[in-house]
Amino acid sequence: MIESYQNDDAYQKHESLSQVQQFERDLKDIVNSQVKVKLYPEFISTKSEKLAITHGNQYVVYLTEISVQLGKGDEFANAVMKEMKTAVEKEDGILAMLAGTIMNQPNEWFSLELYKTEETYY
């Protein structure tokens, strides 16, 4: 589950909603383990088409955790953001790409890539 909020106040408002609190209680009976990672957004880009999933699809999502050598964060960020921007602009099969660093750990990255199908990944 991936969530994005405009700021901490928006997140706190979301967390205070009764339906969100009920959802969290329900998860305890379903989920074996859960890890929450607060990311600092470095790159977010999507196609213009709606991303809501309301029917069967062949979407493929890749979530990657990347550890960057200390002192190489800016070099990595420049390369990743350039590649992601180009990919979203030029490749039809990509629906969204996001990248972020773990708060207070700028050498620890997560990237999320959403493709229309497995074939469009290759």
- In 3D space, the residue among 55, 68, 71 whose CA is nearest the CA of residue 99 turns out to be 68
User: Which residues have a Cβ under 8 Å from the Cβ of 63 and sit 6 or more positions away?
Assistant: 110, 111, 112
Mark whether 30 and 59 lie in a shared domain.
no
Q: How many domains does the chain have?
A: 2
Which tens digit of pLDDT belongs to each residue from 5-37?
Answer: 888 899 999 999 999 999 999 998 899 998 888
Mark whether 89 and 43 lie in a shared domain.
yes
Which tens digit of pLDDT belongs to each residue from 30-78?
Answer: 999 988 888 999 999 988 877 777 788 889 999 999 999 998 989 999 9
Mark whether 28 and 49 lie in a shared domain.
no
Mark whether 71 and 99 lie in a shared domain.
yes
pLDDT at res. 64 = 93
The residue range of the domain holding 16 is: 1-35
| Cα(73)–Cα(69) distance, integer angstroms | 7
CATH number at residue 47: 3.30.70.100
